[in-house]
Amino acid sequence: MHRGVSPASKEAAWSSALAVFREAARADAIGAGIAPLTVVGAFTLPPPGARRRVYQALHIDFGLPVVPGRQTDVARYTALYVDQARRRPLAATRIVPLRELLAQRAWADADVLVERLRTYALAGDGAGSVPGQVEGILARLVEAADESPTLPRPGDVLCGMEFETVAEEQGHFAQHGLDLSAVEQRVRLGRGELLLLDNLATARGRVGLRRPLELHQLCVGYSRLGASEQSLLLRRMLGALTR
């Protein structure tokens, strides 16, 4: 995680973010040789009229390709920025370093975890008809890795609505031997501030309500990865986080 201060504009913020991400990629063991970095998404959130909640579950942007298949984009890094002209945000970004969290207990090796994630994903309703699947909700990834699913799965799509509060989410992780409160950090971006995240080493969420179009988000990663690259990336990530 890196927090920069006061780029003059969104364009300047994204220019700074891309420079940092490209430098980080030079020493990136997870993404080495996978594909060149490119912008895979740019958003301004939340859109006007969208449902807004005072809480967002911990997640990995774009999700992980747990069942390789059709070509898919993978976000390697994430940048968040608030315009200098905006009012100071009321919401705070929740950030969980995954290695610190997962180090709280023992796990199976990466190959076993990959199979558990795939079994979990394919157990959802209609999963057999989908030629590739991703999962981004951290609570679901943890319960799949632990082979003890408990979250409701109507159609296997809840899109972050699995919990209503931070306390509910903390309780779920506690059932899997993980203490979120021990590692979670909260960052309230000010006007003109830029936050850079390693999207495959951290999970993020939110507490508090965002005003419409308050937050700019840039996702940089790999465009249209094939099945073999998806598998390699997933194994490398799990191995790096659980060894």
Look up residue 182 and give its DSSP letter.
G
Q: Are 176 and 143 in contact (CB under 8 A)?
A: yes
| CB-count burial class (<10 Å; 0-12, 13-18, 19+) for 85 | exposed
Structure tokens at 178: 């993980």
Whole-number pLDDT of residue 156: 47
Instruction: Give the separation between CA 225 and CA 230, rounded to whole angstroms.
Output: 6
Q: How many Cβ atoms from other residues are within 10 Å of residue 215's Cβ?
A: 21
* Three-state SS sequence of 93-113: EEEEEHHHHHCCCCCCCHHHH
Angle between helices 110-122 and 138-145 (to 10 degrees): 110
Domain count, the chain: 1
What is the model's pTM? 0.93
Mean pLDDT (10-residue bins), the chain, 243 residues: 76 96 96 96 93 93 94 97 92 98 97 95 60 88 94 63 94 97 97 96 97 97 97 96 88
Domain range spanning residue 103?
A: 2-242
